[in-house]
Structure 1
Amino acid sequence: MSLTSVITRRTAPGRPLPDTAEPKKATFRHSLHAEWIKIRTMRSTLWVILGTLVIGVGLASLNGASAGDEYATMQAADQAVFDPLATSLKGYMLAQVTLALLGGLVVTAEYGSRTIVSTLTAVPHRGRVLAAKAVVLAVMAYGAGLATMVVGFAVGQSALESAGAPYATLSDPQALRAVFGGALYLTLAALLGFAVGTLIRSTTATVTTMFATMLIVPAFGPALPGPLADWTATYWPPSAGGQIVTAYRDPALLGPWPGLAVMAGCVAVLLVAAFLTFRRRDA
């Protein structure tokens, strides 16, 4: 058979050459896989997750030891409201910031390096890109948050038990709620940072916003005028969501699950705004 006849047969109608076949369109599964690789290989990801674990476990150990030593000298009224759960899980206050920063970096790092252009060229469906990022981030944040809560709980309760103070075990329903609910809260914190990072597109501005939102406002809220201070303590999303890791029920504040619902609602609103903005704004 001549070379000409071979070429004729391979280019006949209905028999396209393999290299001229249309490429398959990127599916959501492909986007998930790509985002998993990107997030997993970011240099900051490993350090943020390790930092979250160290902070959670370190503060649990320190708080458990110091609170346990102080328990015997407390007034009866203070002993009545002593909260072993909140004592051992206090590390969530800094862990929420580290995971929120990770959430912001998932987006802002691509804008900073301009690789977002390549991402959107490969997958023009912007909603799919952002959804894939959010799903991968949520899974990773929940895993890191759960590990932080479980190990922090174990270390903190062990320190309280050694000091002769009240302590809890995982067989306690409140403890299970605090540990698994705390992991959910940390996941919401990561998604909050993700939404803010998508809206702002600047790593520095996202870091500043997350510190102010999660640490500065709750810390200085009590110094605000009366009604505003009460509102901040009760309904400010990080303050309300943080009730999920407590055992003592303050009647002036929201319950654990209603408080977490406030945090989830805030994150949902910001995620919707982030999706709408991401779809319409130039890369």
Structure 2
Amino acid sequence: MSADNGRRARRSRREVPAGTDYATPRHGSDFTRLRRTSGLPFLDSRRPSGQLTLSGAVRGELRKMFSLQSTWVLLLIITLLQPLSTGLMARATRVLAGLDRQIDDFPAHLLSASGDVFWLAVASGLFPAMIVAGILGVLVLTREFSGDTIESTLTANPRRGMVLMAKGLALALLTWLAAQVGLLISWILATLLLPGKSGALPACKPGLALIDLLGGPLMLVLFALMGLGLGALSRSKAGGIGLFLGLTVVLPLILCLLRGLIPHAGWLQTLFRLTPASLLGTFLSGLGWAPEAGIGWWPTWWQAGLILTVWTALCCALGTLVFRRADIV
């Protein structure tokens, strides 16, 4: 009896046709083709784990910068230097005018316009902050070379151009935020300390308020990116900081000394006006045109910003060229 039951079971299995297994979709089935359709991204919304994107690289650089104490210290210095310089400038202005005197009572030969002095005090902190921003830009890349972490960075993302661009974008964002906050604090402080803020501006400086408040932080971003490019060019902390200080501090001093030693050398004065530090001063002054005749060529505020952008682009281009082609040592 059991033998007959076994034969019938085997015969029934042979007679049942093998149907399609609907539990697991096979390769090439309608379901898998539907899942791969680009018009239905909700079926496969995850990115491939090995895909590199610029936004992901920027987020990684931001996390890396936030994890370092030196980043926070330098950003805090950039923010606090501006109101500190504004307070000192305002105090010095009041001392020059006489204790407890109003800005509107200044002698005509001392101050041509009270509004001009007000915005000079507001933007005075951008000059020392320029040095700190450049040092921050140098350290963003060179500390990875000194700490031997650059190999890990390039292993995770072998596209060196993308790595440098991500560092630049993250650096620009943080520098702009720190500079903008510091400048707004300086504006509030100058409003409290210098009551002559409503004075008239010179005719050659239209729009000085917007130029300083909105353009000043962008100028610090250019100096930070300049430091990043010089850091990529030298690949060392000392070398990058030395190049940046040489370009922004030493070069103007040398040109000033040469101008004093060589009489009637007007071209040295023109070269001095093309240095990054002098361009920053021209930009923040809001100069629309040369106020006097016979002083030679003097860039306006927008020309100064454009030339400073060219300086930054040149430093970044040289740094990118070296960073992409040189071996990691």
- Pick the TM interval, shorter chain: 0.7 to 0.9
Distance in structure 2 (CA, Å) of the matches to 1:229 and 1:153 = 35
The reply on whether 1:68 has 2:94 as its aligned counterpart is yes
1:151 counterpart residue number:
185
SS in 2 for 1:124: coil
2:110 counterpart residue number:
78
1:249-271 alpha-carbon deviations (Å, 9 max, x no partner): 67253111110111001101111
2:79 counterpart residue number:
53
Q: How does 1:219-230 map to 2 (within 5 A)?
A: 219=253, 221-225=255-259, 226-230=265-269
1:10-38 alpha-carbon deviations (Å, 9 max, x no partner): 9x999xxxxxxx84222222211111111
- Choose the corresponding residue for 2:134, options 100, 104, 109: 100
The reply on whether 1:237 has 2:267 as its aligned counterpart is no
CA contact (8 A) 1:244 1:257 kept: yes
RMSD value, Cα: 2.7
Runs of 4+ in 1 over 3 A off after TM superposition: 71-75, 164-169, 216-221, 247-250
Q: How does 1:177-192 map to 2 (within 5 A)?
A: 177-192=211-226
Q: Determine which structure has the larger helix proportion and give its number.
A: 1
2:31 counterpart residue number:
none
Distance in structure 1 (CA, Å) of the matches to 2:305 and 2:256 = 21
CA contact (8 A) 1:108 1:203 kept: yes
SS in 1 for 2:52: coil
- Choose the corresponding residue for 1:271, options 316, 324, 329: 316
Distance in structure 2 (CA, Å) of the matches to 1:108 and 1:167 = 46
- Choose the corresponding residue for 2:62, options 36, 40, 43: 36
CA contact (8 A) 1:85 1:168 kept: no
Q: Where does the alignment leave 5 or more consecutive residues of structure 2 unmatched?
A: 1-23, 29-47, 99-104, 260-264
Distance in structure 2 (CA, Å) of the matches to 1:243 and 1:41 = 36
Between 238-247 and 251-260, report the one with greater CA deviation. 238-247
CA contact (8 A) 1:107 1:198 kept: yes
Q: Where does the alignment leave 5 or more consecutive residues of structure 1 unmatched?
A: 1-9, 15-21
Distance in structure 2 (CA, Å) of the matches to 1:54 and 1:260 = 24
Distance in structure 2 (CA, Å) of the matches to 1:27 and 1:78 = 56
Between 212-221 and 27-36, report the one with greater CA deviation. 212-221
| Alpha-carbon shift at residue 165 of structure 1 (Å) | 7.3
CA contact (8 A) 1:150 1:179 kept: yes
Between 140-149 and 150-159, report the one with greater CA deviation. 150-159
> 1:98 is matched by which residue type in structure 2?
V
Distance in structure 2 (CA, Å) of the matches to 1:232 and 1:86 = 24
> 1:231 is matched by which residue type in structure 2?
T
> 1:135 is matched by which residue type in structure 2?
L
Q: How does 1:119-138 map to 2 (within 5 A)?
A: 119-138=153-172
1:281 counterpart residue number:
326
